Amino acid sequence: MRIAYQGEIGAFSEAAAQKLDRDAELLPCRSFEEVFTSVDAGPAGYGVLPIENSIGGSIHRNYDLLVEHHLPIVAEVELPVVHQLLALPGATLGNLRRIYSHPQALAQCERFLRTLTGVEIVASYDTAGSAKLVSSERLTDAAAIASARAGDVFGLVPLASAIQDYDDNITRFLVIGRRPFDKAPPDKTTVVFTLPNTPGSLFKALSVFALREVDLTKLESRPIPGRPWEYLFYVDLASARDELPCARALGHMAEFAPMLRVLGSYTSWKTREGLTKGINEVAS
């Protein structure tokens, strides 16, 4: 199995991919778009994409890419995220003039960053890529916010550890691919739809699930490019798409939603963790 992820070696996306399958061959990509292309063109069978963080919120670009591409969601994985402030050996907090990291990581460490003075905060494309920059350029007055593994990979040491704003900092990743990830039964479905701009249209759309007791675990809206003030609505449902209540709810919505598309029906991470735990207990 080959899994593509965005970032350098040591990125949190790499850790998410390893959590899915420790024996998988991992393919680092420069951008989220490259992850989709790698799966679409065939070098990788699956791609791992961060979709939301418990502190920083949604990664909006990946919501947009899910609609632009026709690669279904086939799994999800959750990863606790612990951020380190990494620098070259010998560097000190007092000597820092710049800190590099991905915008999401910077947002997750906002309280810590506010305690620093005279330090420029620089957004970059990747956490591990920021560590690589500090290391390869030998930036003695700079640091990166990244994982402990990134520090090991690029020869950096922590000036401060666990600097995220909250201890329960978790990122949820989606897995895209053309084939089912495994034989685990699906119990979660992600859909996207548009609605007419009429009074009560969103209430009507959500009621098709409420009336059938299909639980919504996530609701996200995104602008439709080229159509100002019109929106796409993304919904996560705690149900497989083929379960009768969910199937009937989606059929009902299709009667009035101008566009309705199922982005994937897959096994939730909570269920997958439980299955893995049960297998390990039997094996032991």
In the chain, domain spans? 2-79+169-177, 84-161, 188-266
Contact 236, 265 (CB under 8 A): no
* Total number of residues shown for the chain: 284
189 among known catalytic residues: no
What pLDDT is recorded for position 278? Answer: 53
Q: Are strands 142-146 and 84-87 parallel, antiparallel or unpaired?
A: antiparallel
pLDDT tens digits, 127-170:
999 999 999 999 999 999 999 999 999 999 999 999 999 999 99
pLDDT tens digits, 43-75:
999 999 999 999 889 999 999 999 999 999 999
Cα–Cα distances in angstroms (integers) from residue 208 to residues 79, 200, 255, in the given order: 32, 13, 11
181 among known catalytic residues: no
Q: Where are the beta strands (DSSP E) in the chain?
A: 2-6, 25-29, 46-53, 57-58, 73-80, 84-87, 98-101, 120-123, 142-146, 157-161, 170-177, 188-194, 216-224, 227-237, 259-266
Which fold is adopted by the domain 188-266? Alpha-Beta Plaits (3.30.70)
Which fold is adopted by the domain 2-79+169-177? D-Maltodextrin-Binding Protein; domain 2 (3.40.190)
**Catalytic annotation, pick one of 171, 189, 190, 267:** 171
**Catalytic annotation, pick one of 12, 36, 173, 193:** 173
